[in-house]
Amino acid sequence: MRGILCATDFSTRSQRALRRAGLLARQVDAELTLLHVVDDDHPPRLTELERREASRFLDEQRHSIAELRGVRCRSAVAAGEAFDGILHEAEAVAADLIVMGSHRKRLGSVAERVLRALELDILAVPPAP
């Protein structure tokens, strides 16, 4: 496996997905890309501010989450619809696997759309019991 993409919205379920993606990337010696997609239907200055803050927060997570230490890891921030941003980044980094947090007993609309659109495996990390 060459690369893993982990999409995060900075929620608790996404934190669990980040940790799981880090463990998996370490286990298979894959590069991990952490992705956050900001909504771009705001004024451009606000969108750019959100991009910068998201980038800063992703960098903080890369350095503070124990499961990401020692993993080849990069972060990316896209603007637009979450679905489109995930598809574009997955193709850009030639991801073999996408890791996302799931909503309770189901994937959630974005994960379901990604699953239908790409011929990639998706690991849906469930919430804590």
pTM for the full predicted model: 0.84
What residue spans define the domains of the chain?
3-125
How far is it, in rounded angstroms, from Cα 116 to Cα 21?
A: 21
The topology under which CATH files domain 3-125 is Rossmann fold (3.40.50)
What is the reported pLDDT for 92? 93
User: What mean pLDDT do residues 21-31 have?
Assistant: 95
pLDDT digits (tens, 9 = 90+) for 56-115: 999 999 999 999 988 999 999 999 988 889 889 999 999 999 998 876 555 556 556 665
Angle at 9 between CA 31 and CA 88, to 5 degrees: 55
Q: Measure the CA–CA gap between 46 and 24, rounded to whole angstroms.
A: 35
Residue that is written with structure tokens 């980038």 in the block = 55
Closest by Cα among 1, 23, 9 to 83: 9
**Residue that the structure tokens 């696997």 belong to:** 97
Give, in degrees to the nearest 5, the angle at Cα 37 between 60 and 33.
55
